[in-house]
Copies of this chain bind each other. A is one copy, B any other.
Amino acid sequence: MKQQLLKVQNFNVSADGFGAGQGQSLERPFGHADPGQMFAWAGATASWPTRTDPGGSRGIDDYLTRDFSHNIGAEIMGRGKFGPQHGPWQDHEWRGWWGEEPPFHTPVFVMTHHTRPSITLSDTTFHFVDADPGTVLKQARVAAEGKDIRLGGGATVVREFLEADLVDTLHVAVADGVTLGSGSKLWDSPDELLDRFHLDVVPSPTGAVRHHLFWRK
């Protein structure tokens, strides 16, 4: 059977390694970070999943965004990516940031100590799991039915899977011009991964980020 990869895709961090700033809220899903600034390279591409108008670039940045769903059968994400709440759920009205048509189109495993019943929105089903990375990955592998699994973040979750040595490939877009100082941290430097991963670095033609593409040695 073909290997099922665990992949980080289109993940954005600041020059100092933060995937999101401090103070996440309903109004500011990325805390004090400006997602418009950090995601601008992706939003400019023709294939960005939430793009609605027909324009957009079809150069190298578009290869990266249109790979988003390619052979992906499930996603794993942290609770902070699903919503801004902390602690026990006050109610079950919150169903994610994405409205009735989430851009995942697969099962999604939300890691949280506070589980709740699964939610289906269009062709995306969110499952809430209280388990360690290895156990969640096993569940996601079954759900993905032979396809790869996307590790959707945030940075804390990516770091946990890296520490457990479960990640096969990463695409991290580093915004060289953005410094956050605090928040959810992925790394001090991309060099931390070089003992285990090959690395290609490709500048976005927008000049806003450099794409860091890692795969296992």
Residues on A facing B (Cβ under 8 Å): 3, 46, 54, 57-60, 62-64, 66-67, 70, 168-169, 198-200, 202, 205, 211, 213, 215
Report yes or no: B70 in contact with A66, Cβ–Cβ below 8 A. Answer: yes
Closest B residue to A168 using CB positions:
B58
Say how many copies of this protein the assembly contains.
2
Closest B residue to A54 using CB positions:
B3
Report yes or no: B205 in contact with A60, Cβ–Cβ below 8 A. Answer: no
A118 to B60 CA separation, bound complex (whole angstroms): 36
Residue from B59, B62, B70, B198 in contact with A57 in the complex, judged by beta carbons closer than 8 Å: B198
The verdict on A200 contacting B64 (CB below 8 Å), with A3-B54, A54-B3, A70-B70 known, is: no
A54 to B168 CA separation, bound complex (whole angstroms): 14
The verdict on A200 contacting B59 (CB below 8 Å), with A3-B54, A54-B3 known, is: yes
A205 to B213 CA separation, bound complex (whole angstroms): 11
Top 4 nearest A-B pairs (CB, nearest first) are A59-B200, A58-B215, A59-B213, A63-B63
- List B contacts of A70 (CB < 8 A): 66-67, 70
Report yes or no: B63 in contact with A169, Cβ–Cβ below 8 A. Answer: no
Report yes or no: A60 in contact with B200, Cβ–Cβ below 8 A. Answer: yes
